[in-house]
């Protein structure tokens, strides 16, 4: 069986993606991306180019959409809005064309890939609680639903009646269905600033964390006058 990497929420952070890429080169057959390639970080075009060339599947994130559909901007806080408008000014027509081409969902055998939730994906709802997870399970039939969006690695297991949050590594069992969030490559928010992603191999999904040169990303963000909060949060993992 193939070894598949599931990555999400790169957010224009090339320094983080570069380190993840070096790790994946040696270890992986296929890469699936759950969206938010751009927004927040200082090198959106480079990240798009890498995703284009390396990912088998890519779904659209809310930031990927907001750069070409500015009607979405009202849903973002002022820092994110500023970063999205800055990102838009840095992208080529080709980059925008690629972001516009991304689907909201991809189905691959027993897997569903979606950025936020299978419940009205275009509304970008978050899956944090058991209740939100349950609603997501009821909205589709796939055995494993891969989501991003929260920037916090997490997993839910859904059985006959019971639903619970489970820890990594996950042993995928025939009796259950799963929601798996691999966390964020470029802006983790679980107080661990290392890049986060996951690897699916046979029946196991493991979470991988790798350090990257956070200061290098921060320096590039200062140079581009991106909002200070977006710069400092990278080192804190918030
Ligand atoms: Zn995101």
Distance 63 CA to ligand 1 centre (A): 7
Kind plus residue range of the DSSP H or E element containing 78: helix 78-90
**Cα(85) to centroid(ligand 1), Å:** 15
Residue 70 pLDDT greater than 90, yes or no: no
27 pLDDT band (50/70/90 cuts)?
Answer: confident
- Read off the pLDDT of each residue in 107-130 and give the average, rounded to a whole number: 96
**Confidence (pTM):** 0.97
- pLDDT the model gives residue 1: 84
Give the confidence band of 128 by pLDDT, cuts at 50, 70, 90. Answer: very high
% of residues, the chain, pLDDT over 70: 100
Supply 188's token pair.
């983790």
Rounded to the nearest whole angstrom, what is the distance from the C-alpha of residue 149 to the centroid of ligand 1?
5
Distance 160 CA to ligand 1 centre (A): 32
Confidence of residue 139 (pLDDT cuts 50, 70, 90): very high
CA of 151 to the centre of ligand 1 (A): 6
Q: Is 186:218 a contact under the CB 8 Å cutoff?
A: no
What's the CA gap between 35 and 228, in Å, rounded? 24
The tokens of 132 are what?
A: 């939100």
pLDDT for 161 beyond 90: no
pLDDT at 51: 98
Tell me, in angstroms, the distance from the centre of ligand 1 to residue 8's CA: 8
What pLDDT score does 226 carry?
97
Q: How far is CA 206 from each of CA 27, 98, 169, 229, rounded to the nearest angstrom?
A: 13, 30, 4, 31
- Ligand 1 geometric centre to CA of 161 (Å): 31
Domain 4-236, CATH among 1.10.3720.10, 3.30.70.141, 3.60.21.10, 3.40.50.2300: 3.60.21.10
Our measurement of the distance from residue 139's CA atom to the centroid of its chain's CA atoms, rounded to an integer in Å, reads: 21
- The answer to whether 19 touches 216, Cβ cutoff 8 Å, is no
User: 88 preceded by cis ω (within 30°)?
Assistant: no
- The β-bridge partners of 6 are 32, 198
What dihedral do alpha carbons 219, 223, 228, 234 form, nearest 10°? -30
For residue 103, is pLDDT > 80?
yes
């Amino acid at each position: 069986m193939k070894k598949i990497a599931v990555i999400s929420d790169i957010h224009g952070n090339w320094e983080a993606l570069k380190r993840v890429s070096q790790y994946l080169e040696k270890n992986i057959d296929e890469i699936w991306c759950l969206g938010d390639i751009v927004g927040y970080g200082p090198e959106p075009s480079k990240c798009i180019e890498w995703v284009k060339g390396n990912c088998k599947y890519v779904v659209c994130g809310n930031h990927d959409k907001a750069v070409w559909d500015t009607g979405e901007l009202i849903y973002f806080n002022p820092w994110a809005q500023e970063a999205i408008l800055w990102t838009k000014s840095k992208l080529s027509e080709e980059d925008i064309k690629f972001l516009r081409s991304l689907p909201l969902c991809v189905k691959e055998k027993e897997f569903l890939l979606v950025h936020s939730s299978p419940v009205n994906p275009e509304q970008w709802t978050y899956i944090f609680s058991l209740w939100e997870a349950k609603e997501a399970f009821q909205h589709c039939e796939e055995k494993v639903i891969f989501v991003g969006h929260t920037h916090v690695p997490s997993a839910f297991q859904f059985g006959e009646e019971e639903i619970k949050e489970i820890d990594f590594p996950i042993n995928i069992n025939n009796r259950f269905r799963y929601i798996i969030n691999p966390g964020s490559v470029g802006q983790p928010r679980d107080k661990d600033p290392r890049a986060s992603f996951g690897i699916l191999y046979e029946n196991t999904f493991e979470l991988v964390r790798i350090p990257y040169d956070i200061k290098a990303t921060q320096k590039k963000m200062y140079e581009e006058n991106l909002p200070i909060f977006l710069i400092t949060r990278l080192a804190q993992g918030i």
